[in-house]
Chains A and B, each alone.
Chain A
Amino acid sequence: MLLQQYKCFGSSAASKIQRNPLFSSLDSRDVSYFKEILGEKNVIEDKERLETANTDWMHKYKGSSKLMLLPKNTQEVSQILQYCDSRRLAVVPQGGNTGLVGGSVPVFDEVIINVGLMNKVLAFDEVSGVLVCEAGCILENLATFLDTKGFIMPLDLGAKGSCHIGGNVSTNAGGLRLIRYGSLHGTVLGLEAVTANGNVLDMLGTLRKDNTGYDLKHLFIGSEGSLGIVTKVSILTQPKLSSVNLAFIACKDYLSCQKLLVEAKRNLGEILSAFEFLDNNSMDLVLNHLDGVRNPVSCSENFYILIETTGSDETNDREKLEAFLLKSLEKGLVSDGVIAQDINQASSFWRIREGITEALQKAGAVYKYDLSLPVEEIYNIVNDLRGKLGDLANVMGYGHLGDGNLHLNISAAEYNDKLLGLIEPYVYEWTSKHRGSISAEHGLGVMKANEIFYSKSPETVALMASIKKLLDPKGILNPYKVLPHSLFSH
């Protein structure tokens, strides 16, 4: 068969991936078999639908799959995988397809297994707050369901209208509330997953504490579909507290932002629920590319911070937040700020922070980096890169300052390799030097499959490869992603 080459649009020129010749190619018998077990309607060969399923949200990565399967339940997922494993057909597990590292779309002709039809809420315990649901539930729909019961999901992110909880779990999604509720490694109590050979692993516990053996669910959380397909999730949700306050603050310099974070953690304490930052370039981008947004603060500043508090006593929380902000204003940490007076105002503040990603898409080509760094270093990399790129591109820094997570984005009119060469491996080396993570929450996908060594030791990665080979000996689950290609030479 032909050696197919794949060059990731906008990714390091060095990583020209080649299709694994050991994988089979889809034939008509395969398609008939799938139609038999799933029904004709849920075996998609339609060109338009495949076009969408083959392309990631950023329109940066595009595969050439000829088939998408829509299983309705775990049993069907198991049958599909058992068959694909025996036939050596590579597959891509797919949820909402909102990932930002090319992890949710085929690289070549892998069969797409989309769990979108598995979207039922299975159980909700109103005392413990434990929600059990299928992996294809859209995050926003779960939030709406929980709202009627007086609960909230422990995570929230800009992609909530499209992303699936299965995908969130598989990528260990972070988001805006991590500072308050922690990561999915803490809030996911159990899951059900199907491994490459079709084996169904029932780890769907609903218990807060269970120390019986190795906690295998953690392997699947964040493994980006490379160890198994998550089919059900059991997650601990939080009571919805009535008092939510949001402030939009302007700060003169990054040092003030840092100090403000320290003060916020100390003075707002248990009611602090989000601490986000964005720089002036990000604000300008949003104001230029999105409709109906205005800068909440009257004059332009270098940095903007969003501080959210969530508690149970409206008056108390309000006073606490006001007192904290007024003191910060007096101390010169804050140059100006506003507090949202109603939910609409709060939504408009969030629109600015959550809209940066959308604005970047509209602005042209975007090189996106998601880094964990010591808080005091976070803006240094932005300044250094800005100096390095000069007029070639617009560099933006924003993100979850409260978690030490920077979203470094470089916006240019078009993708070009010269620009990429200036950015990579500079950004990875810079991060590595400060013992940071080259992927705080987005995952490795196909974009950073070969960059893991910037953040993990060779011994650790070797063990990861062993585990992969143990759980997926033929390597059919989401190949070419997450771990370096050199470990799976063919």
Chain B
Amino acid sequence: MKILVAVKRVVDYAVKIRVKPDKTGVETQNVKMSMNPFCEIALEEALRIKEAGFAEEVIAVSIGPSQCVDTLRTGLAMGADRGIHVETNSSFLPLTIAKILKSLADVENPGLIFLGKQAIDDDCNQTGQMVAALLGWPQATFASKVVLDKDKNVATVDREVDGGLETLNVDLPAVITTDLRLNQPRYASLPNIMKAKSKPIKKMTVQDLKVDIKSDIEILEVTEPPKRKSGVMVSSVDELIDKLKNEAHVV
């Protein structure tokens, strides 16, 4: 079985982000970029499944500008067997990404597609679900535990949901998106970094995959949330009621 893992290059989780003055987005120039933490967890899980003998190949995929190769190299250094870079300078929203991943899945025929539950830059939490829908495959999202049954070709997944934990059985092939508690990703070790240098990264374009990239969503503006205003001391209950009524309009 092959496992396809989608990894996204995002602003590093620990960086304090700033909105660009022209409000078109977040400042990414001269800012540390890293693999999305949930994608890291997804890749780690795929590697563990391969090491347990359930899969022969883990393929890392990234969609974006030329620097995505760095993210794929990290994936290869963790242990992925090969990488696919769909090169584009456009910033795609989840539906387009999902269409691209579907095209790749049609070519590679993986038994499992792993994604992070969401990217920390847009927090969309949509791509995994859309890929599953486009492929007509079952999905198990927010996975905190994955157990495979090779004979029955089924994955048993614990999901972290608002009410607690839900356990699902999904037939393979399936799409799984990963949550924080699923695993602790391994570090990229020197021997693996060395091996990664000879692993192939295939470059492709959106045209190669015959995907329609027209988006029906347009980002108009990105702004910072309004700054918290400092509190006001009131001198009496009457003044408080007056303010609640006439200023805050909540009474």
Contact = CB atoms under 8 A, between A and B. Distances in A.
A344 interface: yes
A248 B189 CA distance: 9
A340 B34 CA distance: 10
Nearest to A349: B187
Given A315-B70, A338-B187, A338-B188, A343 B34 contact: yes
B248 interface: no
B13 interface: yes
B231 interface: no
Contacts of A338: 187-190
A326 B190 contact: yes
Contact of A341 (B14, B31, B184, B187): B187
Given A147-B16, A315-B70, A322-B193, A341 B30 contact: no
B13 A344 contact: yes
A298 interface: yes
Contact of A342 (B35, B67, B78, B184): B35
Contacts of A296: 187
A142 interface: no
A199 B156 CA distance: 76
A249 to B, nearest CB: 8
Nearest to A296: B187
Interface string B183-208: 01001111101100000000000000
B190 A345 contact: no
A339 interface: yes
B83 interface: no
Contact of B15 (A248, A334, A343): A343
A308 to B, nearest CB: 14
Given A242-B31, A315-B70, A342 B12 contact: yes
A329 B77 CA distance: 16
Contact of B74 (A147, A242, A341, A347): A341
Q: Which 6 A-B pairs have the closest CB atoms?
A: A342-B34, A343-B14, A338-B187, A242-B30, A337-B190, A343-B12
Contact of B189 (A147, A315, A336, A342): A336
Nearest to A298: B189
B37 interface: yes
Quick one: which of A148, A294, A339, A347 has the most chain B CB within 10 A? A339
A244 interface: yes
A463 B70 CA distance: 58
Quick one: which of A148, A244, A318, A344 has the most chain B CB within 10 A? A344
A343 B32 contact: yes
Nearest to A346: B14
Nearest to A315: B70
Contacts of B40: 341-342
A481 B40 CA distance: 52
A16 to B, nearest CB: 50
Contacts of A337: 189-190
Interface in B40-85: 40, 67, 70, 74, 77-78
Nearest to A318: B70
11 contacts: A242-B31, A325-B190, A326-B194, A336-B190, A338-B189, A339-B190, A341-B40, A341-B78, A343-B13, A343-B32, A344-B14
A345 B189 CA distance: 13
B191 A336 contact: yes
Contacts of B67: 315
Interface of A: 147-148, 242, 244, 248, 294, 296-298, 314-315, 318, 322, 325-326, 329, 334, 336-345, 347
Contacts, number: 67
Contact of B188 (A242, A244, A326, A341): A341
Nearest to B33: A314
A340 B74 CA distance: 10
A326 B31 contact: no
A341 B37 CA distance: 10
A244 B32 contact: yes
Nearest to A342: B34
B191 to A, nearest CB: 7
A297 B192 CA distance: 12
A2 to B, nearest CB: 50
B190 to A, nearest CB: 5
B190 A344 contact: no
Contact of A334 (B13, B31, B190): B190
Contacts of B184: 294
Quick one: which of B30, B40, B190, B191 has the most chain A CB within 10 A? B190
Contacts of B14: 342-344, 347
A244 B12 CA distance: 12
Contacts of B77: 339, 341
A329 B78 CA distance: 18
A340 B187 contact: yes
A294 B190 CA distance: 18
B35 to A, nearest CB: 6
Contacts of B191: 329, 336
Nearest to A241: B30
A344 B36 CA distance: 12
Contacts of B194: 326, 329
